[in-house]
């Protein structure tokens, strides 16, 4: 236990994770959308449902995380949230929609929006 505690403290304060992400030494690549094992983050368990709930209300942590993962700047996030909320029915056309279909719809909505098109 003491060794794990020491590792947690050192890893959290030494900046090695930050260095690894920014330098690319741990396999991170900032040239594309944020993914997990080559799949969209929406494919991860529970995230799709949380995004749907947040998108239905027009705000929330999951929707913010989605906008960050897409690369939407802080200045445009409120606008992103409102556009996603306005297009909820087309992004989630049915209850059993897949994560891939949702991402395709989000991309299509963003491409058709003059302000958000720069992010896709």
Q: 37's torsion region: left (phi>0), alpha (psi -120 to 50) or beta?
A: left
Using CA atoms, how far residue 120 sits from 19, 29, 57, 69, 117, in Å, is 27, 17, 23, 12, 6
**The predicted structure's pLDDT at residue 37:** 45
End-to-end CA distance of the chain: 45
Phi, then psi, of 85 in degrees rounded to 5: -65, -45
Same structural domain for residues 17 and 67?
no
Each residue's pLDDT, cut to its tens digit, for the chain (120 residues) gives 566 555 656 655 555 555 555 555 555 555 555 554 444 556 555 688 889 999 999 999 989 988 988 899 999 999 999 999 999 999 999 988 888 899 899 999 999 999 999 998
In this structure, the answer to whether residues 75 and 27 fall within a common structural domain is: no
Provide the domain limits for residue 11: 1-31
The residue among 58, 67, 9 whose CA lies nearest residue 34 is 67
Q: How many domains does the chain have?
A: 2
The pLDDT of residue 36 is 45
Q: What is the pTM of this model?
A: 0.65
Give the bridge partners for 116, in sequence order.
none
Q: 39 and 14: one domain? A: no
Are 81 and 103 contacting, i.e. CB atoms less than 8 angstroms apart?
Answer: no
pLDDT at 38: 47
User: What integer pLDDT is reported at residue 5 of this predicted model?
Assistant: 58
- Are 14 and 45 members of one domain? no
Same domain for 40 and 27, yes or no, is no
Q: Are residues 101 and 48 in the same domain?
A: yes
């Amino acid at each position: 236990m003491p060794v794990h505690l020491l590792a947690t403290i050192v890893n959290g304060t030494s900046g090695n994770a930050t260095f690894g992400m920014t330098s690319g030494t741990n396999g991170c690549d900032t040239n594309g959308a944020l993914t997990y094992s080559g799949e969209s983050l929406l494919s991860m368990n529970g995230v799709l449902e949380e995004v749907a709930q947040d998108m239905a209300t027009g705000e929330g942590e999951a929707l913010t995380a989605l906008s960050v993962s897409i690369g939407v700047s802080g200045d445009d996030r409120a606008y992103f949230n409102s556009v996603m909320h306005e297009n909820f029915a087309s992004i989630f056309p049915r209850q059993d929609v897949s994560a891939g279909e949702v991402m395709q719809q989000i991309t299509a909505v963003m491409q058709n929006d003059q302000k958000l098109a720069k992010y896709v």
